[in-house]
Amino acid sequence: MSNFLPNSLVKKLGVNPLFDTDAFIKIHEEGIRATAIRLNPNKLEDCPFPNAGQVPWCNVAYYLQDRPVFTLDPLFHAGAYYPQDASSMFIDHIIRSLKLHEGSIRALDLCAAPGGKSTLLNSSLHPESLLVANEIIKTRVTILQDNLMKWGNANTVTTNNDPAAFNRLPGYFDLMVVDAPCSGSGMFRKDADAIDEWSEANVKLCSERQQRILVESLSALNRGGYLFYSTCSYSPEENEDIVDWLLDSGDFESVEIAIEEHWGIDHTNSNKHRAHGYRFYPHKLGGEGFFIAVLKKVGEQETFNRKRIKPEKSDVPKGILDNWISDSTSFHTFLHHEDVYVFPKMYEHDLKYLQNVLYLKNAGTNVGKLSRKELIPSHALALSNHLTKDFQSVELSLEDARNYLRKENIAVDTIGESLQGWTIAIFEGKPLGWMKVLTNRINNYYPKELRIVNL
């Protein structure tokens, strides 16, 4: 047995005669982890680092030869990619297998922070889909909001609610992703503290919490919709047993997802209903411990009453966004305090529904602040995929880009003499944020709360 892994867990996994206990222990003792990134398709086409090949179940993700210091890379701050464990990226394969990317849907990422699965959903689903990303813990909502902002799409809503709040939206979502809080055994290589905190009592506690989260929120899933249930735990009590518990209700059926044998993913079946599950073990593939199951809702479900809402007249001055937003006519514009937001026009009524029953942290893209009927552009607009493509910009060197991200002064001689006013600072063609070019200086508008403190 291992000297540091919980023996009770290792023994339970070893009950399966096909499980290679020695290889499992060895990979944890070696501590060597694969590093992977997933590209933002709207911002980057090729992997920016030396890579060791594509993640087989996600065609925009790559294993890296070495782990870079992402904080020092301007492309990371531009939202051009997201560092994410490869196992979690299997959701992209599920979406494509179910053809959920072929038409617009309403999706909920219920336990979303820090945002890896939310940004994946935002890329993998049809671009006209609506994504609601929720996080119950207030201190974690900010990082979720920041990551979605960097991803650059306006079809997202960030919320801060208990899962029970979503019962107020019966039958509203076509897809629910529940990456449930768990005992964390799949993260033993990533987080050594998780080993000390693990116990069978905590597994039981997490299983009960997972059931509460599901029972209080699943009415929000429409009949015919899909539930992706996942954890970073190896314990059956948090995985296959939860799936069996869901199937006991008669409201769901298990969905099988085709996988390639050489991927190294274990296709499991639950004890009671023989439901399909997918386990990821670090000794068999390039990723951390992970479990996911797909269920389709087949039971009757009352649906949310989509009352017709009379459109409100926008307080945003007409035409003020024409020089900032490409295809501004496809967006609903609204004011929140002095800030102007854009949100997909096709979901204008949905925004009202969500506002009526949820606490929203952000909706759409914050374009900027109105000041005497002029717009002071926001950082979110600089990173937005909807910013007009011909806005004036300045390409910065790596050194200048890092200085910009530290919110330091940028020398005037780095700017062409013809430029004046609001200008996008870019690195390798990717926007980093705003500068304002004046006659004898440049004002750096990179947000103080996001600046790199140490290089």
- Please provide the DSSP assignment of 315-379 as one string: -SPTTTTTTTBTTGGGEEEEEETTEEEEEEGGGHHHHHHHHHHS-EEEESEEEEEEETTEEEE-H
Domains of the chain and CATH, by start: 392-455 (3.10.450.720)
Direct distance between the N- and C-terminal alpha carbons of the chain, in angstroms, rounded to an integer: 42
SS3 63: strand
Q: How far is CA 247 from the centre of its chain?
A: 27
Residue numbers annotated as active site: 232
Which residue in the block uniquely carries the two structure tokens 């929140």? Answer: 336
Give per-residue pLDDT as tens, 234-262.
Answer: 999 999 999 999 999 999 999 999 999 99
Burial of 357 (0-12, 13-18, 19+ CB in 10 A): middle
**Bind-site residues:** 111-117, 135, 162, 179
Element (H, E) at 54: strand 51-54
Contacts (Cβ under 8 Å, ≥6 apart) of 213 = 110, 111, 163, 178, 180, 181
- Supply 195's token pair: 């080993």
The secondary structure of the chain in percent helix, strand, coil, rounded to multiples of 5, reads: 30, 25, 45
Give the CA angle between residues 419, 421, 425 to the nearest 5°. Answer: 75
DSSP state string for 260-321: -GGG--EEEE-TTT--EEEEE-TTTSSS--EEEEEEEE-S----------PPPPP-SPTTTT
Query: Which residues 6+ apart lie within 8 Å of 6 measured at CB?
Result: 185, 195, 198, 199
* C-alpha to C-alpha distance for 31 and 49, rounded to whole angstroms: 22
Render 112-180 in DSSP notation, one character per residue.
-TT-HHHHHHHHHS-TT-EEEEE-S-HHHHHHHHHHHHHHT-SSEEEE---GGGGGGSTT-EEEEEEE-
pLDDT at 411: 86
* HEC per residue, 141-152: HHHHHHHHHHHC
Q: Tell me the binding residues for S-adenosyl-L-methionine.
A: 111-117, 135, 162, 179
What are φ and ψ of residue 403, in 5° steps? Answer: -65, -40
Characterise 6 by phi-psi region: left (phi > 0), alpha (psi -120 to 50), beta (else): beta
Q: How far apart are CA 420 and CA 56, in angstroms?
A: 47
Asked if 154 and 363 count as a contact pair (C-beta separation under 8 A), the reply is no
Closest alpha carbon to 157 in 110, 223, 124: 110
Of residues 415, 384, 385, the one with CA closest to residue 397: 415
Which pLDDT tens digits describe the chain residue by residue (455 residues)? 556 799 999 999 999 999 999 999 999 998 788 999 999 999 999 999 999 999 999 999 999 999 999 999 999 999 999 999 999 999 999 999 999 999 999 999 999 999 999 999 999 999 999 999 999 999 999 999 999 999 999 999 999 999 999 999 999 999 999 999 999 999 998 887 889 899 999 999 999 999 999 999 999 999 999 999 999 999 999 999 999 999 999 999 999 999 999 999 999 999 999 999 999 999 999 999 999 999 999 999 998 887 777 767 777 888 888 889 998 889 999 999 899 999 999 999 999 999 999 999 999 999 999 987 789 999 999 999 999 988 999 999 999 999 999 999 888 877 766 788 999 999 999 999 999 999 889 999 999 999 998 76
Please count the CA atoms within 13 angstroms of the CA of 38 that sit on its side-chain side: 25
